[in-house]
């Protein structure tokens, strides 16, 4: 431990500090991340640069190692919580500066299902990738999703289910969107242990996301396509 005690964040130059923050994020060290964020801000860094260079890049490494089976859910949750602590400092500043967001996601577990570890992980990883996330929590009836879409106008709707009995409810939500004529306005991502690609296709979702890392990659791809479409339009 003595070696770690020797690292005084304030004495590191910017590049070293950002590198150290990537390591601290990986290790889930919340206090160090908050301290690092505050040091960079005190050195005149824009909040958006702190977010993208120190936090998002750090979480990208976490996401890759999670996808490759080097990190597991408990470690990723620790990293995500450290990211969240840093975001606690940055969020009000980002709002003030009108910093660009990568995209906006409404996410929630479907009606009848109270499992949320996977969904929480997806929410935190998306936030770690620079998305604005509105998390509806668990046990959401179709009305909750429709109200959130209307209120927040997100780019993406994410639905999660862990029970085979609640999976079909995803179709209820998508059918309601079709009925209201708003299905085409949003990309719909679905996830959860019992789901697969074939199920996602059968209920009319855009994509099935096997895990949080895939969810982030898919969301980024969707936003890249949307941005390209807007420029072309």
Model confidence at 136: pLDDT above 70: yes
- pLDDT for res 121: 87
- pLDDT for res 124: 85
Mean pLDDT lowest for which of 21-25, 123-127, 161-165, 171-175?
Answer: 123-127
Model confidence at 53: pLDDT above 70: yes
Q: Mean per-residue pLDDT for 106-134? A: 91
In this prediction, residue 123 has a pLDDT band, given cuts at 50, 70 and 90, of very high
Identify the residue whose tokens are 């960079």.
40
- The pTM for the full model equals 0.80
Q: Which domains does the chain have, with CATH numbers?
A: 1-99 (1.10.1240.10), 101-233 (3.40.50.280)
- pLDDT for res 98: 77
Model confidence at 69: pLDDT above 70: yes
CA-to-CA dists, residue 92 to 18, 101, 126, angstroms = 21, 13, 18
pLDDT digits (tens, 9 = 90+) for 182-216: 999 999 999 998 999 999 999 999 999 998 889 99
Q: Mean per-residue pLDDT for 132-138? A: 96
- pLDDT for res 35: 98
User: With contact defined as beta carbons under 8 Å apart, do 142 and 173 qualify?
Assistant: yes
Mean pLDDT of the chain, nearest integer: 92
Model confidence at 15: pLDDT above 70: yes
pLDDT digits (tens, 9 = 90+) for 83-96: 989 999 998 898 78
Mean pLDDT lowest for which of 29-38, 79-88, 140-149, 181-190?
Answer: 79-88
Identify the residue whose tokens are 């998306």.
126
């Amino acid at each position: 431990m003595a070696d770690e005690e020797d690292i005084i964040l304030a004495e590191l130059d910017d590049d070293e500090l950002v590198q150290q923050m990537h390591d601290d994020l990986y290790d889930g060290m919340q206090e160090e991340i908050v301290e690092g964020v505050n040091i960079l801000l005190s050195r005149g860094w824009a909040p958006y640069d702190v977010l993208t260079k120190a936090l998002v890049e750090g979480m990208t490494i976490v996401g890759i190692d999670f996808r490759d089976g080097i990190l597991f859910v408990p470690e990723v949750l620790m990293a995500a919580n450290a990211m969240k602590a840093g975001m606690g400092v940055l969020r009000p500043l980002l709002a003030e500066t009108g910093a660009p967001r990568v995209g906006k996601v409404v996410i929630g577990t479907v009606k009848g299902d109270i499992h949320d570890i996977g969904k929480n992980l997806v929410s935190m990883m998306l936030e770690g990738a620079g998305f604005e996330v509105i998390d509806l929590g668990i046990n959401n009836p179709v009305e909750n999703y429709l109200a959130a879409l209307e209120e927040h106008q997100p780019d993406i709707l994410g639905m999660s289910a862990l029970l085979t009995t609640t999976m079909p409810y995803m179709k209820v939500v998508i059918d309601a969107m079709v009925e209201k004529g708003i299905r085409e306005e949003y990309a719909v991502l679905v996830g959860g242990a019992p789901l697969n690609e074939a199920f996602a296709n059968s209920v009319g979702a855009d994509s099935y996301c096997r895990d949080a890392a895939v969810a982030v990659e898919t969301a980024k791809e969707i936003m890249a396509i949307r941005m390209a479409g807007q420029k072309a339009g």
